[in-house]
A = this chain, B = another copy of it.
Amino acid sequence: MTSTSARPLEHPQREEIRLEAVLHALSDPMRLRVVRYLSVLDDHDEAPCSAIELAVSKSTTTHHFRVLREAGVISQIYRGTAKMNKLRRDDLDALFPRLLDTILDADAAQRRRLA
């Protein structure tokens, strides 16, 4: 059976999330790509780290996911050998209304423009 492990993963509480940390987390192209990927999943759906192919080593991937988690942008949970990720949309929207969508829109606009 695939179950959630007891291995602990530190997440900031909603009220501990800081705008500066969120902006810094999203200012890296690789991390923005992860967020873009997660943003198109159904709400409450989640993806393992391995689902998003980043052209870097596994340890670098781990690093970037951790930055996103510690900034409060994503939540992570172990399921079996996988570590599932999803956007903390509710928390971000509650703290910073429209911020996530506006940044994703800006990213989409830029990608369209530079295509």
Contacts and interface: CB of A to CB of B under 8 A. Distances in A.
Interface of A: 15, 18-21, 23-24, 26-29, 32, 95-99, 102-103, 105-107, 109-110, 113
A20 B15 contact: no
15 contacts: A18-B110, A19-B103, A19-B107, A19-B110, A20-B27, A20-B28, A20-B29, A23-B24, A23-B27, A95-B110, A96-B102, A96-B109, A96-B110, A98-B105, A99-B103
Q: Is the interface of A mostly helix, strand, loop or mixed?
A: helix
Q: How many copies does the complex hold?
A: 2
Contact of A23 (B23, B97, B98, B113): B23
A32 B106 CA distance: 19
Contacts of A28: 20
Contacts of A98: 98, 102, 105
Q: For A15, A96, A106, which residue has the most chain B Cβ atoms within 10 angstroms? A: A106
Nearest to A24: B27
